[in-house]
């Protein structure tokens, strides 16, 4: 699990204006954080004093206590952890609302708040100054002088993790400092906040933090003042959250909360992967920064140590939302994309389409999308010709499913058995029919494609491809057979998602007559049905027995293509996600198979037909993935062998 930083959001029990007591509370939570292997802990804005001290900020006694408190905190905190605390800091006769980054033994850096709210319930300009652009002021704290300025400053740990700090209102401004900090290299933004609670404000903050983490391609740690603040006119909720690249990783549970520590794991390798892919990020950095940002060095490691398990949820099925409502919405969107894209293509090619119907998942989804497309176009479903082509491996179960589905959907039906044509072909090439090798299988696949192509020519239509994203990734298709069509309507949908899209589409009222058949198809084993059934007429050739479970391959595909992770990291993530479902040897076996097939089958992807891109992982050489057919998998496979 390389590249993981465990962060802590700490909202201690607050003793208003009692710095000594606040230091003790923070040391208590820092000790707890170390026990939980958190290397970076963020406290709320002005956490040493409390945010609501008012005119007490002008008291020399309080400022003296702050300096003593920083010294005591740095000396008393555990080694191997960094903390960011909030404190009022005096510099050149002015007070600044600051975030102070400390490690055991001393201060690392001090960041002043840039945007001071002074409207509504906020009066910060009564006490604090905002740093002026181009001007550096000097604070003397703990026996050293510290420069304070408005210029972005980032801190780099010994292992290269880069941090940036902003405070509360800074995030709410039109141009948050975190934007420039990210462009200057900051991978994790730390926000010390004291945001009072109002109706619907929590939801707004959630979106604000999540969107900023997405826009800046960063981890974002937000920690707000707890309910221990003064309630004279306001209430503070202690709202904390951690987001990364647009996803919320962790959030405190209580609506009004106090005295807690939560941790979350941020994957900096994901951040770096996104930034490598996002060319506009680098363009903005070149346009708006000069590469001369002040960098502070921090001589501790922030990365999770080897052997410590990551503490973040790794979903088994990264393409499938775990929330039922969100999953249904996602599937509706995917189905709409498929249908509208196909309708656009059919509008150009004449409005007729031919699709091979096997009684399996992929051809069913393609047929449903075709029906929706002609419905959108106002054309009769008879413009769709479904062709079932029984051969040696066809079972009564799938044969009947194919016929029932076409009848229920009201499409034109053709049944074209291909037994004799395949037998003649095998005879022509001198292949013994009893030899059930790849030639035996591929001869059937190519005959089916030839039939579909010729029927489409005869009707003036196009052949609709049924292959899905997972099959394309593994090259699980016969070249110039099911590999080829005039439009690949499923090419962006991974296998693990296909059944959910079918299930969701099947709930549409226009597909009500087909629901019983759809349920039967959803319970059918995945098979190309190219080998004869057993004596009881059951399917004997199950795809996942041959190439591995699709849920594993979709997991490998997502992390290999979306983030470019190394095999070792994908393996560790997969072992975590599928703990109890597959043993480590099984996962490694199919990981090797994934890389072997993914590299050797690229030649099929380089000449795949058009098809709509559905998500962030796509393999069309035009829509997303570009890779030479003769690339070598040696380095990836050697890393797999070393696991």
pLDDT class of 35 with cuts at 50, 70, 90: very high
The verdict on 330 and 249 lying in the same domain is: no
Q: Which residues contact 61 (CB under 8 A, 6 or more apart)?
A: none
| Stretch 318-332: mean pLDDT | 95
Percentage of residues of the chain with pLDDT beyond 70: 99
Instruction: Tell me the CATH number at 332.
Output: 3.40.50.620
86 and 166 belong to one structural domain: yes
The mean per-residue pLDDT over the stretch 31-60 comes to 96
| Residue 440 CB partners (closer than 8 Å, separation 6+) | 426, 431, 433, 530
Spatial distance between the Cα atoms of 605 and 561, rounded to a whole number of angstroms: 14
- Return the ∠ at Cα 282 (arms to 279 and 284), rounded to 5°: 110
Domain count within the chain: 2
Statement: residue 481 has pLDDT above 80: yes
- Asked if residue 289 and residue 376 are part of one domain, the reply reads no
Residue 311 inside a domain? The answer is: no
Residues sharing a CB contact under 8 Å with residue 626, sequence separation 6 or more, in sequence order = none
**DSSP per position, 494-507:** -HHHHHHHHHHHTT
- The answer to the question of residue 315 being in a domain is no
Mean of pLDDT values over 549-563: 96
Q: Could you tell me the pLDDT band of residue 536, with boundaries at 50, 70 and 90? A: confident
Give the active site residue among 9, 53, 98, 168. Answer: 168
Q: Are residues 222 and 335 in the same domain?
A: no
Q: Looking at the predicted structure, is the pLDDT value of residue 530 above 70? A: no
Residues 96, 220: one domain?
A: yes
Name the 3-class secondary structure at 610.
Answer: coil
Residue 52 vs residues 28, 89, 93, 112, 290: alpha-carbon distances, Å: 23, 16, 22, 18, 38
Check whether residue 269 and residue 330 sit in a common domain. Answer: no
Going from the C-alpha of 395 to that of each of 171, 391, 413, the distances in angstroms are 62, 9, 19
Residue 235 makes CB contacts below 8 A (sequence gap 6+) with 196, 197, 227, 256
Q: Which residue has the tokens 């890779």?
A: 627
Q: Say if CB 421 and CB 447 are below 8 A apart.
A: yes
Q: Which residues contact 496 (CB under 8 A, 6 or more apart)?
A: 317, 319, 320, 470, 550, 551, 554
Task: From 230, 264, 298, give the residue that closes a domain.
Answer: 298
Cβ within 8 Å of residue 151, ≥6 positions away: 133, 293, 294
Residue 305 confidence class, pLDDT cut points 50, 70, 90: confident
45 given a catalytic annotation: yes
Range from 459-468, 508-517, 526-535, 550-559 carrying the lowest mean pLDDT: 526-535
Active-site entry in 25, 45, 441, 529: 45
Q: Which of 298, 313, 335 is the last residue of a domain?
A: 298
Shared domain for 286 and 395, answered yes or no, is no
Q: Is residue 402 part of a domain?
A: yes
The reported pLDDT for the residue numbered 310 is: 75
pLDDT tens string 230-288: 888 889 999 999 999 999 999 999 889 999 999 999 999 999 999 999 989 989 988 88
Whether residues 269 and 354 fall in one domain = no
Which CATH number do you get for residue 78? 3.60.110.10
Mean pLDDT of the region 40-45:
98
Q: Is the model's pLDDT at 311 over the cut of 70?
A: yes
Strand duo 4-11 + 40-42: pairing: parallel
Ordered DSSP codes for 399-421:
HHHHHHHHHHHT-EEEE---HHH
- Residue 617 pLDDT grade (very low, low, confident, very high; cuts 50, 70, 90): very high
458 found inside a domain: yes
For 120, other C-beta atoms within 10 Å of its C-beta total 8
Query: Hunting for tokens 């629901």 — which residue is that?
Result: 515
The rounded mean pLDDT for the chain is: 94
Residues in the chain: 643
Q: Rounded distance, CA 406 to CA 497, Å?
A: 22
Q: CA-CA distance, 643 to 639, in Å (whole number)?
A: 7
Question: What's the pLDDT at 1?
Answer: 67
- Picking from 298, 314, 332, the residue at the C-terminal end of a domain is 298
pLDDT at residue 119, rounded to an integer: 85
Burial 202-228 (b: 16+ CB within 10 A, else e): beebbebbbebbbebbbbbbbbbbbbb
State whether 494 and 600 are in the same domain: yes
pTM of the model: 0.89
Establish if 319 belongs to a structural domain. no
CA–CA dist 535, 391 (Å, integer): 16
In Å, how far from its chain's centre is CA 497? 16
The DSSP code for 80 is: T
- pLDDT grade for 328, boundaries at 50, 70 and 90: very high
Which structural domain, as residue segments, surrounds residue 444?
324-641
Where residue 388 falls among pLDDT bands split at 50, 70, 90? very high
- The whole-angstrom separation of Cα 314 and Cα 318 is 8
Does residue 312 lie in a domain region? no
Which token pair is 21? Answer: 């007591």
164-174 mean pLDDT: 95
The pLDDT, as a whole number, for residue 545 is 86
β-pairing, 106-112 with 94-103? antiparallel
Flag the least confident range among 85-99, 515-529, 537-551, 556-570: 537-551
Average pLDDT over residues 48-63: 96
Residue 535 forms part of a structural domain: yes
240-244 and 219-224 strand pairing: antiparallel
Mean pLDDT over 200-221 rounds to: 96
- Give tens-digit pLDDT for 102-138: 999 899 999 999 999 988 888 899 999 999 888 889 9
Q: Do residue 288 and residue 348 come from a single domain?
A: no
- Identify whether residues 390 and 502 lie together within a single domain: yes
> How many beta carbons lie within 10 A of that of residue 482, not counting itself?
24
> What is the spatial distance between Cα 346 and Cα 341, in angstroms, rounded to a whole number?
9
Q: Within this chain, do residues 331 and 212 fall inside the same structural domain, yes or no?
A: no
| 310 within domain boundaries | no
Q: 67, 113, 169, 604: which one is catalytic?
A: 113
């Amino acid at each position: 699990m390389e590249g993981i930083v465990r962060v802590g959001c700490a909202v201690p029990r607050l003793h208003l204006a009692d710095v000594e007591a606040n230091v003790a509370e923070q040391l208590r939570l820092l000790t707890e954080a170390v026990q939980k292997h958190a290397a970076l802990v963020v406290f709320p804005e002005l956490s040493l004093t409390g945010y609501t001290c008012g005119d007490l900020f002008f008291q020399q006694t309080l400022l003296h206590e702050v300096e003593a408190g920083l010294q005591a905190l740095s000396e008393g905190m555990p080694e191997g952890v960094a903390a960011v605390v909030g404190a009022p800091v005096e510099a050149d006769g002015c007070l600044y609302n600051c975030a102070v980054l400390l490690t055991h033994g001393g201060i690392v850096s001090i960041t002043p708040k840039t945007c001071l709210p002074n409207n509504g319930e906020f009066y910060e300009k009564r006490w604090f100054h905002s740093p002026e652009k181009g001007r550096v002021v000097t604070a003397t704290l703990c026996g050293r002088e510290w420069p304070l300025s408005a210029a972005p400053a980032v801190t780099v740990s010994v292992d290269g993790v880069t941090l940036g700090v902003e405070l509360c209102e800074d995030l709410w401004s039109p141009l948050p400092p975190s934007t420039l900090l990210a462009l200057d290299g900051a991978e994790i933004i730390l926000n010390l906040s004291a945001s009072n609670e109002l109706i619907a404000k929590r939801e707004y903050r959630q979106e604000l933090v999540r969107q900023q983490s997405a826009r800046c391609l960063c981890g974002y740690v937000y920690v707000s003042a707890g309910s221990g603040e003064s309630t004279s006119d306001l209430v503070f909720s202690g709202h904390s959250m951690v987001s990364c690249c647009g996803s919320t990783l962790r959030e405190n549970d209580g609506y009004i909360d106090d005295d807690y520590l939560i941790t979350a794991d941020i994957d900096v390798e994901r951040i770096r992967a996104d930034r490598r892919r996002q060319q506009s990020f680098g363009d903005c950095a070149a346009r708006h920064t000069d590469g001369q940002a002040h960098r502070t060095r921090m001589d501790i490691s922030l990365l999770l140590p080897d052997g410590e398990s990551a503490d973040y949820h790794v979903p088994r099925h990264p393409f499938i939302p775990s929330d039922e409502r969100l999953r249904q919405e996602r599937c509706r969107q995917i189905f709409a994309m498929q249908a509208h894209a196909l309708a656009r293509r059919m509008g150009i090619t004449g409005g007729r389409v031919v699709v091979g119907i096997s009684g399996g998942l992929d051809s069913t989804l393609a047929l449903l999308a075709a029906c929706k497309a002609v419905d959108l176009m106002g054309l009769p479903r008879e413009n769709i010709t479904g062709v079932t082509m029984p051969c040696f491996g066809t079972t009564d179960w799938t044969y009947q499913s194919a016929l029932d589905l076409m009848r229920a959907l009201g499409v034109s039906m053709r049944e074209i058995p291909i037994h004799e044509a395949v037998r003649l072909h095998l005879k022509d090439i001198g292949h013994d029919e009893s030899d059930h090798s790849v030639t035996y299988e591929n001869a059937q696949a190519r005959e089916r494609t030839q039939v579909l192509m010729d029927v489409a020519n005869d009707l003036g239509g196009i052949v609709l491809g049924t292959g899905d994203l997972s099959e394309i990734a593994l090259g699980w298709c016969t070249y110039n057979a099911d590999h080829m069509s005039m439009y690949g309507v499923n090419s962006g949908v991974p296998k693990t998602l296909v059944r959910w899209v079918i299930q969701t589409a099947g709930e549409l009222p226009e597909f009500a007559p087909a629901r019983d058949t759809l349920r039967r198809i959803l319970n059918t084993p995945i098979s190309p049905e190219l080998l004869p059934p057993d004596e009881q007429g059951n399917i004997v050739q199950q795809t996942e027995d041959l190439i591995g479970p699709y849920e594993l391959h979709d997991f490998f595909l997502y992390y290999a293509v979306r983030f470019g992770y190394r095999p070792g990291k994908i393996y560790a993530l997969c072992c975590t996600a599928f703990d109890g479902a597959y043993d480590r040897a099984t996962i490694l076996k199919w990981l090797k198979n994934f890389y072997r097939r993914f590299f050797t089958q690229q030649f099929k992807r380089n000449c795949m037909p058009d098809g709509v891109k559905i998500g962030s992982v796509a393999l069309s050489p035009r829509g997303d993935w570009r890779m030479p057919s003769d690339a070598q998998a040696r380095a990836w496979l050697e890393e797999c062998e070393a696991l």
